[in-house]
Structure 1
Amino acid sequence: MPDHYEVILRSITSFGLLLIGARILGKQTISKMTIFDFIASITMGAIAASLAFNTSIKFHLTFLSFSIFVAVVFLTAVISLKSKRGRKFFAGDPTIVLQNGKILENNMRKMRYTLDYLNQQLREKDIFNIEEVLYAIIETNGTLTVLKKPQYRYVTRQDLMIPEMQEQRLAIELIMDGEVMEQNLKQNNLSHKWLQLELDKRKLSKKEVVYAVLAANGNIYVDTYKDHIISPIDKE
């Protein structure tokens, strides 16, 4: 087989293997990762890249290596799911860096976590005054979780004793890209007649609608292909 045909075949196979591996290992591998997830993703990518273009390595050996690695990662995920000790070993523990508004220098030093980086992550959470913080914790995926002191927290409807509207469900997409979402209507006991009545109220037909969604509060948002905006700000 000519080299370029082999590379094409290997590249397609490599992509397929990565996709299958990601589906087996679950969404956690592609979300904000722990150290172990990061190592797993990097290694799987490296093996897949070798499979794609390194024709000097036999195909079945690379495939075997990739399969073994996916199996090992899957096994560690199962162990982490069933064992608290396993979870702690593979993912580690969260680390408190601020407690009762006081910086824990020893914990920061162990992680080689600087004050500059701490301030940066606090600013990303709209905290510019460190005195507002009651607790700050570095999670196992490297993100910073913050609990503010009570006097600096946002006021909620419950704090103000304001009655809230009950929301029993998620928003329901009715029309997307001009097509009626048949499955969503059926699952939520909504009829085409009801949908048409709602569109009639707005003097619209289904063909004019690009997106329609029934919000949890009962309101319907409808967006049409014709926006009737004379001068769009983001026109390209």
Structure 2
Amino acid sequence: MSEYFEVILRSIASFGLLLIGTRILGKQTISKMTMFDFVAAISLGAIAANIAFNTSIKSNHAALAFVVYIIIIFMMALISLKSRKGRKLFAGDPTIVIEKGKILDKNMKKMRYTLDYLNQQLREKDVFNIEEVLFAIIETNGTLTVLKKPQFRNVNRQDLMIPITPEFKLPIELIMDGEVIKENLEHNNLTELWLKMELNKRNLVQRDVLYAVLSANGNMYVNTYDNHIHSPIDKE
């Protein structure tokens, strides 16, 4: 019974260490990973797993190894931040696979990157005709970045000379799950009285509202608990 209790405690401890380590290393650890991030994540996961269930390994030794890995990864991240050469060493360089509309087969062979996979990633970018592509680059995290030829790019407001309303702030969440987010009101010089008046204009009170957000253009989106949709499409 004591062994089961030990595994439970070690599992909780390893999860805590993994969470703390991820917080220290930052969001980059859980974003689309470079080769360095991949190796780091695999190593940390393996050590955390051993802390959890491998009772033949002393927990303090495994915890020490985990801390050492965190320090190594953190130091490498600092080097990458300060040095361009360091970034190239740990993450590598992006690779161009299409240049001026021409497929660079030699670059693809170096990466063991097939035409089938290239076409798949182009389709994921809504490109079904390779003739539309001016440049395509494989980034260090494995994703494909595509620059279309000018004639195939989407038209925007600037191209059409359509006037736009400037926006200088992000949307502000005011109510979530029926609760007023007071911090957001205070940080944006808004009051609960103002919010109450805005809801009154819509014949609503706070308890009716599931979610409310003030957009950058000043419009407020409000979603109530009763959405008056009696037959939802995804109803099981």
Q: Which aligned pairs between 1:35-50 and structure 2 lie closer than 5 A?
A: 35-50=35-50
Gaps of 5+ in 2: none
The offset of 1:87, in angstroms, is: 0.5
Partner of 1:204: 204
CA-atom RMSD, angstroms? Answer: 0.8
User: CA separation in 2, counterparts of 1:77 and 1:168?
Assistant: 32
Question: Shift of the alpha carbon at 1:183?
Answer: 0.5
* Aligned partner letter, 1:127: V
1:13-37 Cα deviation digits (max 9, x unpaired):
0000000100111100100000010
**Deviations for 1:130-177, whole angstroms, at most 9, x for unmatched residues?**
000000000000000000000000000000000011111000001011
Q: Tell me the distance in 2 between the aligned counterparts of 1:182 and 1:72.
A: 41
Q: Could you tell me how far apart the structure 2 residues matched to 1:74 and 1:157 are?
A: 43
Cα offset, 1:106, TM superposition: 0.5
**Structure 1 counterpart of 2:214:** 214
Q: Distance in 2 between matches of 1:193 and 1:60?
A: 55
CA distance in 1, matches of 2:87, 2:230: 56
Q: Deviations over 1:98-128 (max 9, x none)?
A: 0000000110000000000000000001000
Secondary structure of residue in 1 paired with 2:109: helix
Report the TM-score when normalising by structure 1.
Answer: 0.99
Q: Does 1:64 align with 2:64?
A: yes
Count how many residue pairs are aligned between Structure 1 and Structure 2: 236
The alignment status of 1:117 with 2:113, answered yes or no, reads no
- Following superposition of structure 1 onto structure 2, how do residues 144-183 of structure 1 map, counting pairs within 5 Å? 144-183=144-183
2:159 is paired with a residue whose SS is coil
Give me the identity figure in percent.
69
Please give the secondary structure, in 2, of the residue aligned with 1:159. helix
The alpha carbon displacement at 1:212 in A equals 0.2
Matched to 2:96, the amino acid is: I
Uncovered stretches (5+) of structure 1, i.e. residues with no partner: none
Instruction: Please name the residue that 1:5 is paired with.
Output: 5
What is the CA distance between 1:194 and its match in structure 2?
1.3
Pairs within 5 Å for 1:1-150: 2-150=2-150
Structure 1 residues 49-89: Cα deviation after superposition (integer angstroms, max 9, x where no partner):
00000001111110111111111000100000111111100
Q: 1:191 deviation in Å? A: 1.3
Return structure 1 stretches of 4+ with deviation > 2 angstroms: none
DSSP-derived class of the 1:175 partner: strand
